[in-house]
């Protein structure tokens, strides 16, 4: 099974895997293709010519939806959530390396947030702000709502990272006289940096894409996915596909940048990380 000739199940499963990938990419490819519709093209195939018309049209004032306002808010919110998710997940990851009272309760609360139906969280935050008489907005109530979604992922990643983290590095730093802060800054942080980029990627994309927890917590001004969801029933032109192509491209750029950063960190670690085998300097 592990070596030798490929079995029949290999070929069957290869076909299944290929079909699954086709199924995953089909809608995305369709959207991108249709974004290139000619100026007279409709929402479905066939293509009525090919043009960049809709990619430009999106920058014109639109009759429905506040695309650019909501895009702007989504990016800002995504950045805020990303930053908060990285910092808070890292700190909590550090806390869980020691024993502290309430750690298991806190852990269960975080996991509960992960599997809690999002509409319930959304409703709760909405009601809380309503009862307290505080106006809901994307940077307050929706920011909190997003964190209840991104932090469980961030924390689980940090657990996975610190489970594989050798405490000998910190002990060595402490033996050499480093303070707690110095150990974190110069030893722990550089080692876990690539994983923190992963946490950042999760934080941003989960927030940038969030609808369910945003719905009751966002207040008067929508985020992009909320605006899109509201628009999709009224839109009659391929402009929505152009928007889809743009946001897909943005997501791919974000992944690309993260990957490059991770590779850069790895390279730096290889280059400068250890002189253990180089003898006396």
Partner 1 sequence: MEWLRSRSAYLQAAPLSLIFLLFFVLPIAMVVVVSFFDYQAYQILIPDFVLFNYQDVFSSEVTYRTYFITFRFCLMVWAITLVLGFAIAYFLAFHIRTITMQIVLFLLCTIPFWTSIVIRMIAWIPLLGRNGLVNNALVASGFTDAPVEWLLYSEFAVVIGYVHLYTLFMIVPIFNSMMRIDRSLLEAATDAGASGWQTTWNVIVPLCKPGIAIGSIFVVAMVMGDFVTVNVLGGGQVASVGKAIAAELSYLQFPPAAANSMVLLGVVILLIMLLMRFADIRKEL
Q: How far is the CB of 261 from partner 1 (least distance, A)?
A: 16
Among 64, 75, 116, 262, binds partner 1 (CB under 8 A): 116
Cβ atoms within 10 A of the Cβ of 135, count? 10
Residue 280 makes contact with partner 1 by CB under 8 A: no
Piece of the chain touching partner 1 by CB under 8 A; list 48-56, 59-67, 148-156, 188-196: 148-156
Q: Which is nearer to partner 1, 2 or 276 (CB)?
A: 2
One character per residue 54-83, x = contact with partner 1 (rule: CB under 8 A): ------------------------------
Residue 169 makes contact with partner 1 by CB under 8 A: no
Q: How far is the CB of 49 from partner 1 (least distance, A)?
A: 16
Residue 128 makes contact with partner 1 by CB under 8 A: yes
Residue 139 makes contact with partner 1 by CB under 8 A: no
Q: Which is nearer to partner 1, 116 or 277 (CB)?
A: 116
Query: Cβ(53)–Cβ(37) under 8 Å?
Result: yes
Q: Which is nearer to partner 1, 49 or 117 (CB)?
A: 117
Residue 220 makes contact with partner 1 by CB under 8 A: no
Q: Which is nearer to partner 1, 130 or 171 (CB)?
A: 130
Residue 216 makes contact with partner 1 by CB under 8 A: yes
Rounded CA gap, 118 and 115, in Å?
Answer: 8
Q: Which is nearer to partner 1, 51 or 89 (CB)?
A: 89
Q: Kindly report the backbone phi and psi dihedral angles of residue 37, in degrees, each rounded to the nearest multiple of 5, phi listed first.
A: -50, 150
Piece of the chain touching partner 1 by CB under 8 A; list 28-36, 48-56, 59-67, 271-279: 28-36
Of 180-209, binders to partner 1 (CB under 8 A) are 180, 205, 208-209
Residue 109 makes contact with partner 1 by CB under 8 A: yes
Count residues binding partner 1 (CB under 8 A).
89
3-state secondary structure string across the chain: CCCCCCCHHHHHHHHHHHHHHHHHHHHHHHHHHHHCECCCCCCCCCCCCECCHHHHHCCCCCCCCCHHHHHHHHHHHHHHHHHHHHHHHHHHHHHCCCCCCCHHHHHHHHHHHHHCCHHHHHHHHHHHHHHHCCCCCCCCHHHHHHHHHHHHHHHHHHHHHHHCCCCHHHHHHHHCCCCHHHHHHHHHHHHHHHHHHHHHHHHHHHHHCCCCCCCCCCCCCCCHHHHHHHHCCCCCCCHHHHHHHHHHHHHHHHHHHHHHHHHHHHHHHHHHHCCCCCCCC
> Packing angle between helix 239-268 and helix 224-231, nearest 10 degrees?
150
Of 238-267, binders to partner 1 (CB under 8 A) are 240, 243-244, 247-248, 251-252, 254-255
Residue 212 makes contact with partner 1 by CB under 8 A: yes
Residue 126 makes contact with partner 1 by CB under 8 A: yes
């Amino acid at each position: 099974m592990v070596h030798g000739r490929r079995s029949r199940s290999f070929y069957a499963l290869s076909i299944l895997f290929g079909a699954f990938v086709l199924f995953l990419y089909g809608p995305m490819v369709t959207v991108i293709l249709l974004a290139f519709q000619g100026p007279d093209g409709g929402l479905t195939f066939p293509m009525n010519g090919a043009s960049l018309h809709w990619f430009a049209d999106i920058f014109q004032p639109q009759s429905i939806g506040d695309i650019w306002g909501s895009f702007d808010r989504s990016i800002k919110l995504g950045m805020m959530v990303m930053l908060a998710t990285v910092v808070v997940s890292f700190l909590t990851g550090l806390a869980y390396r020691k024993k502290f009272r309430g750690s298991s309760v806190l852990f269960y609360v975080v996991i509960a947030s992960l599997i809690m139906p999002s509409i319930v969280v959304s409703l709760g935050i909405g009601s809380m702000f309503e009862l307290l008489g505080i106006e809901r907005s994307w940077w307050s109530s929706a920011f909190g709502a997003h964190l209840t979604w991104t932090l469980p992922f961030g924390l689980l990643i940090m657990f996975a990272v610190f489970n594989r983290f050798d405490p000998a590095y910190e002990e060595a730093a402490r033996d050499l006289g480093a303070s707690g802060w110095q150990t974190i800054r110069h030893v722990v942080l550089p080692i876990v940096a690539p994983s923190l980029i992963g946490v950042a990627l999760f934080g941003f994309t989960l927030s940038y894409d969030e609808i369910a927890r945003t719905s009751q917590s966002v207040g008067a001004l929508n985020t992009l996915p909320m605006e899109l969801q509201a628009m999709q029933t009224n839109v009659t032109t391929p402009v929505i596909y152009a928007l889809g192509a743009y946001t897909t491209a943005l997501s791919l750029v974000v992944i690309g940048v993260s990957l490059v950063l991770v590779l850069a960190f790895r390279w730096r670690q290889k280059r400068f990380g250890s002189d253990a085998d180089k003898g006396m300097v």
